[in-house]
Homo-oligomer: A and B are copies of this chain.
Amino acid sequence: MSASDVPMRQRIEEYISKLQDDIVGAFEKLDPDAPPFKRDSWLRPQGGRGLSSVFQAPPPPPGAEAVPKETVLEKAGVNISVVHGMLPPPAIKQMRADHSSIPDVQSAVPFFAAGLSLVIHPRNPHAPTVHANYRYFEITEEPTEEEAAQGKPGKLIAWWFGGGSDLTPSYLYEEDAEHFHRTIRAACDAHGADLYPAFKKWCDEYFYIPHRGESRGIGGIFFDDLCDEPHKRFASDDAARPKTAEEIFAFVRAAGDAFVPSYIPILERRYKTPSTEHERRWQLVRRGRYVEFNLVYDRGTKFGLMTPGARIESILMSLPETARWEYMSELGTEAESREEKLVEVLKNPREWA
C-alpha cells in the first residue's frame, strides 16, 4: 500500500504524534535534570482525543522559602488533538468564504480536525518564547449507511491545512531572528518560492496587538485555508506553491520538521546567559503583552473560550507561568536601551531572511 492509499486523516495523526515525540524529546534532552514533560491524554466526550505534554517549573513546596533549582524552561506545552463532530451552519457559512466547494447548508455538517500546537516559555530573559501550530481540517457529507457500518467518514466536501511558527524575544538578538527565519524560509522555499514571503507577511499581520501598536514578536510564518483551490494570499494561480493535498502535506511536514532546528540552537546559546532582576522584570512585562494578545485577539483562543465543553486547560496552556503589568512603565521607552531596541522592531517588522 503506497502512502497515498492511507487516508490523509490517518497520515496526519501519525505525523503529528511523531512530531510531538520528537519535539518533547529535544527539550528533555537539553535539560536532563529537569522533571520530564507531563503526558496527559484526554478524550473528548463528543468525539476524539488528545495528548498534552506539558512542562512546568516545579513550584516551591508549601512553606518553603527557598527558590527551587532553575530549569531551562519555565512553562511549555506541546499538544496534539484529533477530534471530530458536527459543525453548525454559522461556522460552515464562515468557511465558505475561503472554500467554494462548501455548499450553503441549513443543517450541521460532519468535521474532522487534527493538529499540533506548542508554546515554549523559557526561564532566561535572553531566550525567546516560541509558538507553533500545524493543523488539518476536513468537512464531509454525512456517511452513508454502508460507510457508517465500516466506520468510515462521508464523502469529502472540503479540506485544508493551516499553521505557522513565530518567535517572541524579550531581548533582540539579530542572529537569533535571522536563524529562525532562515531555517523556516529554507523549509518553505523547497516547496514553492512564493510561500515564505506570503506567509511571513501574514504572520506579521496576524500577531499584531492593535491597542499597543506593536507586534507580539518578531514573526515567522502564518497560513490558513491552504488547499487545491485559489487562495486569497496568492494573487495569481501561477504562484510557486504546493497545490495538491500530497504537495501541501509535504510542505507542512517540512515546516513542522523545521521547528526543532529553527529553535533549539537559539535556546542552547541563550539559556545560560547571566541575567539581572531588571531583565527578568522586562521579560515579565513582555509576557503580559503575550497574555493580552492571546486573550484579546487570538482567534483560536477566543473561539475555544466560547465553545461549551471545550478543554479550557489546553486552550490556556499558551499563557506564561508569570506575567507582569506596570502602569506607564519606563521600560522600553529609554532611547538606545536594549528594551527600546526590541520595541522598535515590534513596531516596525523587519525582513530577516
A interface residue numbers (CB < 8 A to B): 40, 52, 54, 56, 59-65, 75, 77, 210-212, 276-278, 281, 284, 288, 291-292, 295-296, 302, 305, 310, 312-313, 315-317, 319-328
Contact = CB atoms under 8 A, between A and B. Distances in A.
A94 to B, nearest CB: 21
B322 A284 contact: yes
A315 B322 CA distance: 21
A61 B312 CA distance: 38
Given A322-B322, A323-B323, A63 B276 contact: yes
Contact of A211 (B63, B77, B305): B305
6 contacts: A56-B327, A75-B325, A77-B327, A292-B316, A296-B305, A322-B323
A61 B317 CA distance: 32
A313 B327 contact: yes
A312 B276 contact: no
Contacts of A292: 295, 316
B295 A65 contact: no
Given A75-B325, A316-B325, 6 more contacts: A54-B327, A65-B277, A75-B327, A296-B305, A319-B325, A321-B324
